[in-house]
Chains A and B, each alone.
Chain A
């Protein structure tokens, strides 16, 4: 029996508080498409994606209409493309182009998996692949790329960390006419998860099956609305309220995921219940932190508020679904969150505080715009710090930084759509060159030896 107040609560969450399913992401294995000929591989990949995911968008729209739950993006994630093991960058670029063509053909928003896993070492073909990333992302529109350079088990591949700085710089240059937007489609990971439905980091891990449906739920607005009613209440009431709201959000996502899986005939993988903000007002993780009580995001107390938010979201989600995975917590991208943008502009949120926050959020330093003349080694060192946080704390961390070509601190970088806009933030100007140029590998931490 339906209770009227429950019905109205759901309607309010969907209409006013912008509760949505951020993405239905179909994972597709490309292992059976690989061959030693790049043209043949590219054409097999195109055909496989088009045949497997042709109904994804229409099915998503049907579910959206029937349940009244907005599904913002439909995406595809594929097997890490570096596994194609080509010897020339142009061969990899052909694959990127075929991924982009397939994405346009089936009408999805993004396709992820132009990725490499090099946490322990970089093979000759991995190196060629990484070299291809700037051009591949400049030539395509919907392809997203990620490189995993560290895990708790393997340690940090310091050579790869060094390479990432120069890769990001060339990517920024290749897409200099659009505020270096290419860098928004590229993320460097520690402890990357192979069933993450969110971009730019989604890929279909080699341990996954043939195809899978993963769902990313969002809903900062719903959590914000719930907390806004709790002025003066003790912090444990806040935690409990977040947990209950996360439960409801997750259940909506689980329903959408199960329906998509059944209708497409593809097994359901995981539900990622990360609170993912959008640039729209009230759809902000920063606003939640401020509703919990910090005056402005970045103030002392922000890290603790974010920690309790992430934890309560996970707990509510785990109760609601037996298939919670991916990253699950709260994302803190700067350009995609109106509250974060405002905190940076006000000088309340600095890069150092942001880094501290990443030790308790679900991913890492995300969508920050930095000066175009930032040295590659400084970017690498920023990545090294973030990887260290991930490796030591056994969590996923990432860096998605955009050194905006030709722009300086104080200017704005404008990306548009879900990617939003960001004020250029200053980084520490002291040199990290000697540190990064050492190369090599930082060994795995002591607590990784569990065997």
Chain B
């Protein structure tokens, strides 16, 4: 499934590394990536392809562990963004 992964948090070293390491473990391909830093806050948006074999609860559990490092990570199917912003 196609999903949007967003990472928000205070800018520090190694954020992309920590997130992509988890994605690599789950065999998730990154199709697009963009990141900005607004007033010291790191914002990254990735378009990812999650294989059917991945159990979503396991993935979100792993990503939630990044909360300890003050990073908020969301994975959502792309449909929700299309629905809300396209006519």
Contacts and interface: CB of A to CB of B under 8 A. Distances in A.
Contact of A66 (B45, B76, B81): B76
B79 A7 contact: no
Interface string A247-264: 010011011000000000
B47 interface: yes
Contacts of A7: 4, 6, 45, 81
Contacts of B72: 15
Contact of B84 (A4, A6, A66): A6
Contacts of A66: 1, 56, 76-77
B57 interface: yes
A156 interface: no
Contacts of A68: 74-76, 80
Interface string B48-87: 0000000011001000000000001011111111111100
A63 B77 CA distance: 10
Contacts of B79: 67, 255
Interface residues of A, number: 20
B39 interface: no
A446 interface: no
B43 to A, nearest CB: 7
Contacts of A8: 6, 43, 45
A69 B84 CA distance: 12
Contacts of A65: 56-57, 60
Contacts of B36: 4
B84 A2 contact: no
B13 interface: no
A11 interface: yes
Contacts of A10: 76, 80-81, 84-85
A3 interface: yes
A2 B43 contact: no
Given A2-B47, A7-B45, A11-B74, A252 B83 contact: yes
A93 B47 CA distance: 54
Interface residues of B, number: 25
B12 interface: no
A6 B77 contact: no
Contacts of A6: 81, 84-85
B71 to A, nearest CB: 14
B62 to A, nearest CB: 14
B4 A67 contact: no
Contacts of B80: 10, 67-69, 252, 255
Interface string A26-70: 000000000000000000000000000000000000000111110
Interface string A318-356: 000000000000000000000000000000000000000
Interface in B15-60: 34, 36, 43, 45, 47, 56-57, 60
A418 B56 CA distance: 29
A11 B6 contact: yes
A10 B78 CA distance: 11
A69 B47 CA distance: 18
Contacts of A251: 83-84
A42 to B, nearest CB: 37
A2 B77 CA distance: 12
Nearest to B38: A8
Nearest to A255: B83
Contacts of A4: 34, 36, 45
A4 B1 CA distance: 20
A2 B75 CA distance: 15
A256 B75 CA distance: 16
A14 B59 CA distance: 20
Nearest to B47: A2
Contacts of B85: 3, 6, 9-10, 248
Contacts of B1: 66
Contacts of B56: 65-66
Contacts of A15: 72, 74
Contacts of B82: 2
B3 to A, nearest CB: 8
A15 B56 CA distance: 19
Given A3-B85, A66-B56, 9 more contacts: A10-B81, A10-B85, A11-B8, A66-B1, A67-B79, A68-B74, A68-B76, A68-B80, A69-B80
Q: 4 shortest A-B CB distances, which residue pairs? A: A68-B76, A6-B85, A255-B83, A251-B83
7 contacts: A8-B45, A10-B84, A15-B74, A65-B60, A68-B74, A68-B76, A254-B83
